[in-house]
Amino acid sequence: MSQNNYRKNNSKSEAYVYGNTVRKLSVAMPVTKPQKRDKADDDQEKREQRQHHKEMEKAHKINFLYTVAVVGVLAFIFTVCVQYLELQSAVKSNSAEVSKLELQLSKLTDQNDMTELEANSSIDYDSIINIAINELGMKFPSKNQVFDYASKESEYVETYGKKIPAVK
């Protein structure tokens, strides 16, 4: 009970410390008289200050160069990204143009096939044969005048007085 009283009564002026360690009060440093400095000490201090100043300037230059390099790299990366996006956009537009042209080609091919079919269906081959034989005096070739020829390069053969080898 006396301990509780001690804590209550002295709580304003002192704090009770539990345990075996007591905090030390901070002690002020003793006041010393300034010592007289030598000129050599002043020169040495100035040299050190100049050296420190030069080192700081060098560090600032390095920081500036580093910053310029980082900005340059970022500008380069930004430029590459912009060009990549422009190329990607061009590829998309060209792809759309190719699709449009393929559709147009398909329509023209279908139209060409229909026109060719109409042209071939309007030809009267019997009439052509009749005019060729009766009016122009043409004859069908005999067996010894027809040669079979296999060509890998084209669908027809033109000859100008040359012999064509027969395929057997």
Instruction: Give the tens place of pLDDT for each residue, 105-127.
Output: 999 999 999 999 998 888 888 99
Instruction: Give the tens place of pLDDT for each residue, 116-156.
Output: 999 888 888 899 999 999 999 998 888 888 777 766 766 66
Q: Kindly list the distances between the CA atom of residue 116 and the CA atoms of 82, 89, 110, 121, in Å, as whole numbers in the listed order.
A: 50, 40, 10, 8
Which of 57, 92, 127 is the endpoint of a domain? 92
- Provide the number of structural domains found in the chain: 2
In-domain check, residue 147: no
Which token pair is 17? 């410390």
Question: What pTM was estimated for this model as a whole?
Answer: 0.36
Other Cβ atoms within 10 Å of 28 Cβ, number: 5
Which token pair is 138? 């043409």
**Which residues span the domain enclosing 67?**
45-92
Instruction: Give the tens place of pLDDT for each residue, 19-64.
Output: 666 666 666 677 777 666 677 777 778 888 888 888 888 777 778 8
